[in-house]
Structure 1
């Protein structure tokens, strides 16, 4: 068995060692142009040339949860594209989102600003019932985030393309439920996959439907958000601010207004990082299952984009 590793901006050696340990008899190597065809590919944002040269693939394994970059390529028909189910990312995402929600709700950003000026300040406690959190996207990560937020007694609302039922989360679905979902939310968390239907989904028309004083948390993809619309709605007072972890251009350009806006918190795409050991174990298990002719979880539907 031959496994080809082609992951942009990823240190290859630890991945190669882990895959070789899982498959001692396999030929595991970093891809180079003209290399022998592989049986399986482990990838992150590979070039089209890699896909074009791999004419014998039985499976393509993406080392992240998002597959939007991969689906932009011309992929071989009939070859399953498999994403990570979780591999330690959902708990990280729940930590990040809960931190962002609580930091805004408890006004810790204001206390931090006061402390920098040596000011001992007081803010009137706010009611959780006034801060319903809408989670947009209820896949593995979204469901974990929704359940975590419910543990802090926030009203949690969820929206997904197809109907879901999650304990502690009031679920909306489809286009028919989208506007009602937005209108019921004061804090909006984006955890959607990036598809043609979700590109620019957070724009003036949607964000203006949030409850007054709304707050935006984007941990999905930068292209979900229209940057100028967010800033305009914050400056108008309709939105209170935002915490953003993903951006249209990464790293975020030095001149981008997000860096200096007083009501926007920026983090460097760190909400949920790929955990290498867990990911290797999951990929290896799925390769072994495919070798045995078994079905595996996480197979992407290219028509839906996730």
Structure 2
């Protein structure tokens, strides 16, 4: 019988306990800080685990991420370098992220920011919408989440472009890659949606170069990681009028400080990192399947690649 230790400061432990019991009744479940005998822990299921916790588990076989990204695990300076890290890939997570991306695009596309502003002033004014089939949305990142965003936005009749670090092909999507492709794509896009993994090469990718490549009045939607965005560059572009607005679910510092200029900026829509919540009843299927693969010495999909950084 395998034993898993869950360590997360924000995920619902009881829901995870119940979901894993349903998917894998033979699995023993423990929740930090009630670790018990550390020699008995086979798997660490974590989100921002305390530094040194994983290193203190001498027999742990793998680290299972409770997030699409792995930056919260890699932040531990004591993380044993040999341990495999399994990324969370879940169909429902991708669907939730796509919902949020679509909402962000439609919020600005149908001028909800304008109507909210007018409502607060008791003004009955109209703003003429753009023609959707001639409006381009660019997706930064074409993995499972980005691919779902692209397909669903395409189904709404947007022109969809997509960028990834390596060359890709996707039906109905005009694909770009590499640095030159990034700026070339941005130049075509009214909306940019970021769903990239955070790596050394994507850190600060939403910067003045990318923003200035966009047409005036463009909109940026970041539902990936706060480290992707350069706040000063975004604020400068908003104040100059080059950016028409931003929808930010993630930030360089979370919670976002109460005195941050984003809060009161009339072109900024803020949500508290909730675009893609991991629902235990869905994600437990993936976790249980991967534990069974490891126990059976079978190949595990979605392993974190240290060279690629995701």
TM, length-normalised to structure 1: 0.94
Corresponding residue for 1:14? 15
Give the superposition deviation at 1:205. Answer: 1.8
Corresponding residue for 2:119? 115
Q: Secondary structure at the match of 2:53?
A: helix
Rounded to whole Å, the distance in 1 between the matches of 2:181 and 2:233 is 23
Q: Is the 8 A contact 2:90 2:286 kept in 1?
A: no
Q: Is the 8 A contact 1:133 1:189 kept in 2?
A: yes
- Establish whether residue 245 from structure 1 lines up as the match of residue 249 from structure 2: yes
Corresponding residue for 1:184? 188
Rounded to whole Å, the distance in 2 between the matches of 1:35 and 1:8 is 21
- Establish whether residue 133 from structure 1 lines up as the match of residue 137 from structure 2: yes
Unaligned runs of 5+ in 2: none
- Establish whether residue 297 from structure 1 lines up as the match of residue 301 from structure 2: yes
Rounded to whole Å, the distance in 2 between the matches of 1:11 and 1:67 is 19
Give the superposition deviation at 1:130. Answer: 5.0
Listed as ranges, the matches of 1:1-306 within 5 Å are 1-32=2-33, 35-37=37-39, 38-73=41-76, 74-128=78-132, 131-306=135-310
Give the superposition deviation at 1:13. Answer: 2.5
Rounded to whole Å, the distance in 2 between the matches of 1:262 and 1:26 is 50
Q: Is the 8 A contact 1:105 1:131 kept in 2?
A: no
Rounded to whole Å, the distance in 1 between the matches of 2:57 and 2:136 is 48
Q: Secondary structure at the match of 2:7?
A: strand
Q: Is the 8 A contact 1:138 1:159 kept in 2?
A: yes
Rounded to whole Å, the distance in 1 between the matches of 2:152 and 2:91 is 18
Q: Secondary structure at the match of 2:5?
A: strand
Give the superposition deviation at 1:87. Answer: 4.3
Rounded to whole Å, the distance in 2 between the matches of 1:181 and 1:26 is 47
> 1:196-247 CA distances to partner (integer Å, 9 max, x unpaired)?
1111111112211111111110101111111111011111111111111101
Q: Secondary structure at the match of 2:161?
A: strand
Give the superposition deviation at 1:285. Answer: 1.2
TM, length-normalised to structure 2: 0.93
Q: Secondary structure at the match of 1:255?
A: coil
Higher mean C-alpha deviation, range 212-221 or range 112-121:
112-121
Residue 294 and residue 252 in structure 1: after superposition, are their counterparts in 2 closer, same or farther (change >3 A)?
same
Rounded to whole Å, the distance in 1 between the matches of 2:83 and 2:66 is 17
Rounded to whole Å, the distance in 2 between the matches of 1:186 and 1:71 is 34
Rounded to whole Å, the distance in 1 between the matches of 2:278 and 2:231 is 26
Give the superposition deviation at 1:265. Answer: 0.7
> 1:144-201 CA distances to partner (integer Å, 9 max, x unpaired)?
0011111111111100011111111100012242221122222111111111111111
Q: Is the 8 A contact 2:114 2:127 kept in 1?
A: no
Higher mean C-alpha deviation, range 294-303 or range 216-225:
294-303
Give the superposition deviation at 1:17. Answer: 3.1
Unaligned runs of 5+ in 1: none
Question: How many residues of Structure 1 are paired with residues of Structure 2 in the alignment?
Answer: 306
Residue 57 and residue 181 in structure 1: after superposition, are their counterparts in 2 closer, same or farther (change >3 A)?
same
